[in-house]
Amino acid sequence: MSEFYTSVHLDKDLCKGCINCIKRCPTEAIRVRNGKAVIKKEYCIDCGECIRICKNHAKLATTDSMDNIHKYKYVVALPAPSLYAQANNLDDVNIVLSALKEMGFDDVFEVSAAAEVVSLLSRRYIEENKDKWPIISTACPSVVRLIRVRFPNLVEHMMPIRPPMEIAAEMARKRAIEKTGLPSKDIGIFFLSPCPAKVTSVKSPIGYEKSNVDQVVAIKDIYPKLISAMTHVVEQNKVEELSQSGKIGIGWGRIGGEAAGLLTDSYLAADGIENVIKVLEDLEDRKFSKTLSFIELNACTGGCVGGVLQVENPFLAIVKLKGLRKYLPVAKIHEAPPDIHPEWTQDVEYLPVFKLGENMVESLNMMNQVDELCKKFPGLDCGSCGAPTCRALARDIVRGAANEKDCIHILREYIHKISDEFSHL
């Protein structure tokens, strides 16, 4: 797998070459070339903003099909906690979990249960690593990717613990092997995902070598079937007692939930990718007090309930999650299982993908050229050239990936000039 796998991709036939996605992308990863959007993989952090904004539905997330359950002898569903917030009037998580079994899964393992394990381990890590305060959450893969390419000084602040999805997958696989005696390869672990970034973190993890998840299915893809299966299990009285998580675990589905699980007031929680970037910029400039212990950042507004593969309005989803958590115990898991491997096993290195030149001399020259070019451009950031801003176009030109006449204003001047010359012939 390449270092820059991305789940977000383009359906060329649907793309009209408009400028909505290039303007929305927080890392300026998209250009329109020859009338179609092109994603620079090394810049993309899979936040899904372009999927959200594209009116032509030309931006898609690569996910796996539910049909893949037939490829395994025993399949386990891992529902993200935000899944529970997608259904109306749900008062019992067990209905969702039983419905997943009804849909063909042999077992379910709640990611929210593993989240309680991660909460426990995080509390310990934060306490033991005061020199690295504030510790930044690594549960949102887009945030991890963003830090890796843009915030070199914050890499060491990242929480080196695998996300709940991974812990759930490891625990689920162990349980499946114990239960069935099957070899690992015959067991299929299916994560039901709110976002494309989770797909990417499975195909190309950061901080650990290999994911324990085998397939990632979009919540929106299973939604219609899930709703009818839920009705069915209720009508047929087939609701089983399967839930293993409490308030803390399920709270992870929305912004502030992870922080709440740390049982401290000394945290900051920010959601929405632009807000996340602002927090990281200020953090890098040391604008935060040293007493701040933890920073939770979610690329999507509202947290995971705001993922682009969700169905429900994120704010309504938050209301539903609150209602659902009301009568649950604070946590159902109070001890980390001794046989799991929660820590990151690989160092994460800063990747300067936005660097201009090969060396300082070259970079300095290129930067001067960018400034010169910017003086020529109108500064409207109109996007007609296919780059999100005039400055981005200037950088593309200096990198050799675009031409001055891609700017329609410069092109117009040029045409005026040659038509004048013609008329004087």
Tokens for 118?
């991660």
When the beta carbons of 27 and 98 are compared against another protein, the nearer one is 27
Among 127, 240, 343, 371, binds another protein (CB under 8 A): 371
Q: How far is the CB of 99 from another protein (least distance, A)?
A: 48
Among 90, 319, 336, 356, binds another protein (CB under 8 A): 356
288 binds another protein (CB under 8 A): no
349 binds another protein (CB under 8 A): no
Site string for another protein, 153-192 (x = CB under 8 A): x---------------------------------------
When the beta carbons of 11 and 284 are compared against another protein, the nearer one is 284
Q: Which of residues 92-151 bind another protein (CB under 8 A)?
A: 150
When the beta carbons of 341 and 355 are compared against another protein, the nearer one is 355
284 binds another protein (CB under 8 A): yes
Beta-bridge mates of residue 188: 75
Binding-residue total with another protein (CB under 8 A): 22
275 binds another protein (CB under 8 A): no
350 binds another protein (CB under 8 A): yes
Distance of CA 187 to the CA centre of its chain: 26
Beta-bridge mates of residue 126: none
286 binds another protein (CB under 8 A): yes
Beta carbons of 198 and 165 less than 8 angstroms apart? yes
Q: How far is the CB of 206 from another protein (least distance, A)?
A: 18
When the beta carbons of 1 and 361 are compared against another protein, the nearer one is 361
Tell me which stretch binds another protein (CB under 8 A): 66-74, 107-115, 279-287, 338-346.
279-287
When the beta carbons of 308 and 398 are compared against another protein, the nearer one is 398
Among 53, 90, 367, 374, binds another protein (CB under 8 A): 367
Among 128, 235, 285, 339, binds another protein (CB under 8 A): 285
152 binds another protein (CB under 8 A): yes
Among 91, 281, 343, 413, binds another protein (CB under 8 A): 281
326 binds another protein (CB under 8 A): no
355 binds another protein (CB under 8 A): yes
401 binds another protein (CB under 8 A): no
- Return residues touching another protein (CB under 8 A): 150, 152-153, 281, 284-286, 350, 352, 354-357, 359-361, 363-365, 367-368, 371
